[in-house]
Chain A
């Protein structure tokens, strides 16, 4: 049952919560207090009229720990729904990154070429730098950042994963 078990899985969990003070601290405190992992976390209000926020957490653990995480999340009073997207069917998972590359000459051209292949957009440009905006799943963003590393990568900001189930059903 410890994290050293071989049977570690990654799960993407969507949580609908009241947008009230301390709710994020409750969720994060639960993870740190019980020794669960957070690989990625995003949060934003999604329904202003009802003051609801959606948290997307990518976490890892054995199947027993994943079940515990969901049960513990559901136990929090301001939590309305917990949905394990990984087990509930196909889902779309996206992340956005802003990637700053510094340089000139061939490196600069090469970075633009790669950005084109990845469908990254230039959102800021100076004579010696670009800021690229790229959207995709985590693997695609990792690959893009890796490719930019030898070309003058100086800064990366990533949003973390937002995810939603495919098909008509809603959370």
Chain B
């Protein structure tokens, strides 16, 4: 029996339905009119209209990271497609599953420099995990299903499907998702048992072990995070997390040393530097984590668990490399783990050393100026939200690092931040995606006046959908991180890092129908945060902060983990005998 033929637009809707897609973030245009007409005719698939295509991708990322499901984007050809490039690159760097459907001019016009034509597959080839131009409507369903498969299997990432207008309007045959099998893409998920046994033996013999986990654990689903916690408890090992991994182990766990890396804690970085066995699960030895490679954990035997074979031995040569899904490998490691009482004393003295480093209280800061300190503001926020299930997004820069340091993430999928690409303007649209996915949840954007204004137009999206997002704006009048580097490494020559002419953010919030709040003095911070959280709609709270405040601890680019710069308000560190530089 011949199958009934559907239009490309109908196939598109059917494929999204069969993939379980509930929300699409997008922006219509000339060549996607037929798709939007099909969306108009139904009620099942929800479309969220952002105010810029880059924001649509970030919103889809926020949706994906807070739910574990792929985020879906629909944009038009030409500028619609090129505007997605930053978002797609962001999703690629942070391994976020996104399926982005771009309209394209009719196949007969491709290559003719037609109106709103861009070589979308050419432009996005290096910023996607995969992309595809559909030339035949009979391929459409298969290509869409493959896109979802590729985006969500193996190391997740963004996939673009470029859809010419005539293909959307033509009639073809629909096939379901169960028919999809990509012969050339079968990622390995189960780790090699022999290697896992060797790794566990190495761990059992460790005197100064550390577990260093990253976003791969979060991507492997909440079960993987639960297994990480079980492994940490079974072994009694200290554990540090990357920016992308925060929440994979509860921040309140006594084995948690805080974030590591350039702005990681004193104890996490020194434990990394002095460890003798390192278990890396789902992290990629990024340069912001390792610092100078020659001096990275010089005494450590290294075990690396990663689903992407190209992550292994890319930056750091490891002793045992296990390719597989973090959750499955952790499960096998727990099974293989046998406690060895003999090494308890060694572990005890390692913890004693770590507790000594912890006693430095590297995140303490002076708090006596006329302007509020950002650390203080975030500590007050943390105190207010500690008993609630909160989703936090950030932008990029100093406020991002302070959020990572002072907000405690107890669960995975609760922090949405641009890690690899460092995309200013990520936070606000990402929060849109998070709030759409979790309508009842408390969603907070921690941002700065620089980042916020990179996707400020999304205040209109928030207004349109009445999203009760809370925007905490730490306003220092500078590109803070640039200012910090100029202060420390460029002789305080603050070249083009000062913002002037910023708007009145309270009036701005009100213009978009949100509540605008403004604090002037440190003693107003508490009340303002309470007021912000109590309001049932969107809030933009502008808090001027001390512009001279820097993020510490800090490992300068190209330095080693034990060469940390600590904040100026630190107590005397001489007694540790560690190589510490004071700012």
Contact = CB atoms under 8 A, between A and B. Distances in A.
Interface of A: 1, 17-18, 21-22, 25-26, 29, 33, 64, 67-68, 71-72, 74-75, 77-80
B314 A68 contact: yes
Contacts of A72: 310
A30 to B, nearest CB: 8
A74 B150 contact: no
B309 interface: yes
9 contacts: A1-B293, A22-B122, A22-B133, A29-B126, A33-B126, A71-B310, A71-B312, A71-B314, A78-B184
Interface of B: 121-122, 125-126, 129-131, 133, 150, 182-185, 293, 308-310, 312-314, 317
B313 A68 contact: yes
Nearest to B135: A21
Contact of A68 (B122, B130, B185, B310): B310
Contact of B310 (A21, A22, A26, A75): A75
Contacts of A26: 125
A71 B310 CA distance: 5
A29 B183 contact: no
A71 B309 contact: yes
Contact of B133 (A18, A21, A33, A78): A21
A74 B182 contact: no
A19 B184 CA distance: 12
A11 to B, nearest CB: 16
A79 B184 contact: yes
A62 to B, nearest CB: 11
A80 B184 contact: yes
A114 B387 CA distance: 87
Nearest to A30: B126
Given A22-B133, A77-B184, A80-B183, 5 more contacts: A21-B133, A68-B310, A71-B314, A74-B310, A77-B130
A63 to B, nearest CB: 10
B189 to A, nearest CB: 15
A67 B308 contact: no
Contacts of B293: 1
A29 B131 CA distance: 14
The 10 A-B pairs of least Cβ separation, nearest first, read A71-B310, A77-B130, A80-B184, A71-B309, A77-B185, A72-B310, A33-B126, A75-B310, A29-B126, A29-B125
Contacts of A29: 125-126
A67 B308 CA distance: 13
Given A21-B133, A25-B125, A64 B313 contact: yes
A77 B183 contact: no
Contacts of A75: 308-310
A78 B184 CA distance: 6
Nearest to B183: A80
Q: Which of A29, A71, A77 counts the most chain B CB atoms within 10 A?
A: A77
Nearest to B127: A33
A22 B184 contact: no
A24 to B, nearest CB: 11
Contacts of A18: 184
A78 B143 CA distance: 13
Nearest to A69: B310
A20 to B, nearest CB: 9
B129 A25 contact: no
A74 to B, nearest CB: 7
A21 B134 CA distance: 11
Contacts of B121: 22
B272 to A, nearest CB: 20
A87 B314 CA distance: 19
Nearest to A65: B314
A18 B184 CA distance: 8
B578 to A, nearest CB: 28
A67 B317 CA distance: 11
Contacts of B122: 22, 25
A72 B310 CA distance: 6
Nearest to A80: B184
Nearest to A32: B126
Nearest to B314: A68
A54 B323 CA distance: 26
A43 to B, nearest CB: 16
A79 B309 CA distance: 14
A22 B123 CA distance: 12
Nearest to A75: B310
Contacts of B150: 77
